[in-house]
Amino acid sequence: VNLILLEPGEIDAEARAVVDGIRAAHVREVLKAGPGQQVRVGMVDGPHGVGTVVSVSDASVTLQCGFSSVTPERPRVDLLLALPRPKVMRRLWAQLAALGVGRIMLTNAERVERNYFDTHLLAPGGYRPLLIEGLQQARDTRVPIVSVHRQLRVFVEDGLDEDCPSALRLIADPAAQQSPRAAVGDRYGGRVLLAIGPEGGWNDFERELFAAHGFRQVGMGSRTLRTDTAGIALLALVHAALA
Amino acid sequence: VNLILLEPGEIDAEARAVVDGIRAAHVREVLKAGPGQQVRVGMVDGPHGVGTVVSVSDASVTLQCGFSSVTPERPRVDLLLALPRPKVMRRLWAQLAALGVGRIMLTNAERVERNYFDTHLLAPGGYRPLLIEGLQQARDTRVPIVSVHRQLRVFVEDGLDEDCPSALRLIADPAAQQSPRAAVGDRYGGRVLLAIGPEGGWNDFERELFAAHGFRQVGMGSRTLRTDTAGIALLALVHAALA
């Protein structure tokens, strides 16, 4: 935890917040911060700030907060991800939030098993704590917008233009010659939408669907990676290309 | 599995190999390959090749193998990694092998807990199957050379020049301004040695030790990442810079 994130509802009219659980334990045991000391805080989907410790008990920590007037921008990369199996998705939430994504769009695909959608990890109560964990690690406040799309074609044809207007559209393909850096170019200032397929890849219909909607193939050389490894690696490459 | 790796000892004088377990199941159930059909094979630390299915039983698959005369080069990146906690290290082995590393040097550091070294995952019997899993995923045959160093200073002062001669030495640092791409430059043809610290970072003594031995700091922007996420992201960035 490198930042203590507070939900707006946790901050009272006098800018005080009482935190418990992992956040309180972090202040007490890792930061070892006592009354009068300051810790980094952030408001969920709001600005960064500083929290001055007012009191510490075994169960909770009270912080007097002051916030910047500036809310950070959302990360400039959005991710369209064929839903991986629950075990992999569970690990990915925090890592994707830490690397920085504006949106996470989880989709169906021929090679996504139907029962992957039957997990509590696709409900906000399941994934939101994991996203917050990643944001607290990476010191960001912007929670990725998550959406689940069981009909890939309908979403790509009808939903994507609205959700991700005017983004550079890239699709990961092990056979692609072009690197993310080459595809993004040197001074691109806009957003990137990155599509990552299931283990086993997209089928031909899906590939053509993406191609018909402006997605350009990018690759990382000849090594075939697992979805989670590829996702992390490609996100890092796209962020580096945008930096 | 995108390649079936065979230990040299599994291949008999007539170039036949009998595989069982996951590899046999892969031929039978994923590739659905019957007698006469060909599958990609590789010899551990040796060449790629083609295996023609001779026979398939419930328990095993017999392959008649032909190998290329060329053994692939080791990946050009070596990793010096402050030993993460066992749960994280367990997940990393296959991912590091899939991304491509020549050596994995696991070291001590002030912020590495002593008991992290007490895991069967640091014995070849513990990690080798995980490395092979990653190589079979990425279609590589070269098993990373693994070494464990409980005395960081002794290793950096006395061991590193011999194990990693003439490599460009980089150390990940969240505060560093320089990207891996800028540090590697445009046409670097040699090897890179990348050092990644523990959760919580290297201490000042360790930082100075690395600086005194030619390590240059590289970063990925302002987000602080978990060791495993940072390792995957940085390896991908260094590989991209070398491509």
pLDDT (0 to 100) of residue B186: 87
Q: How far is A139 from chain B (nearest CA, A)?
A: 6
Quick one: what percent of chain B has pLDDT higher than 70? 100
pLDDT (0 to 100) of residue A100: 97
Encode pLDDT of A9-30 as tens digits: 999 999 999 999 999 999 999 9
For all residues of chain B together, what is the average pLDDT?
95
Q: Per-residue pLDDT for A166 more than 90?
A: no
Q: Per-residue pLDDT for B222 more than 90?
A: no
Q: Per-residue pLDDT for B175 more than 90?
A: no
Mean pLDDT, residues A71-88 taken together = 95
CB proximity under 8 Å: B 27-86 to A: none
Mean pLDDT, residues B107-119 taken together = 95
Encode pLDDT of B45-57 as tens digits: 999 999 999 999 9
Helices B227-242 + B86-99 axis angle, to 10: 10
Encode pLDDT of B190-207 as tens digits: 999 999 999 889 999 999
User: What is chain B written as a DSSP string?
Assistant: --SEEE-GGGB-TTSEEEEEHHHHHIIIIIS---TT-EEEEEETTS-EEEEEEEEE-SSEEEEEEEE-S-PPPPPSEEEEEEPPPHHHHHHHHHHHHHH--SEEEEE--TTS-GGGG-SGGGSHHHHHHHHHHHHHHHT---PPEEEEES-HHHIIIIIHHHHSTTPEEEEE-TT----HHHHH-SS--S-EEEEE--TT---HHHHHHHHHTTPEEE--SS----HHHHHHHHHHHHHHHH-
**Claim: this prediction has a pTM higher than 0.90:** yes
Q: Which of the four pLDDT bands, split at 50, 70 and 90, describes residue B37?
A: very high
Mean pLDDT, residues B110-133 taken together = 94
Mean pLDDT, residues B92-100 taken together = 97
pLDDT (0 to 100) of residue B166: 87
Mean pLDDT, residues A64-81 taken together = 96
Q: Per-residue pLDDT for B1 more than 90?
A: no
Q: Which of the four pLDDT bands, split at 50, 70 and 90, describes residue A199?
A: confident
Q: CB B223 to CB A179 under 8 A?
A: no
Q: Amino acid identity of B223?
A: R
pLDDT (0 to 100) of residue A186: 87
Mean pLDDT, residues A70-84 taken together = 96
For all residues of chain A together, what is the average pLDDT?
95
Q: CB B236 to CB A222 under 8 A?
A: no
CB proximity under 8 Å: B 91-110 to A: 91, 94-95, 98-100
Q: Per-residue pLDDT for A72 more than 90?
A: yes
Given CB atoms, is A139 within the 8 Å cutoff of chain B? yes
User: What span, in angstroms and rounded, lies between the C-alpha atoms of A124 and A65?
Assistant: 27
Bridge partners, B103 (sequence order): B145
User: What span, in angstroms and rounded, lies between the C-alpha atoms of A181 and A185?
Assistant: 6
Q: How far is B211 from chain A (nearest CA, A)?
A: 24
Q: Which of the four pLDDT bands, split at 50, 70 and 90, describes residue B221?
A: confident
pLDDT (0 to 100) of residue A1: 85
pLDDT (0 to 100) of residue B128: 96
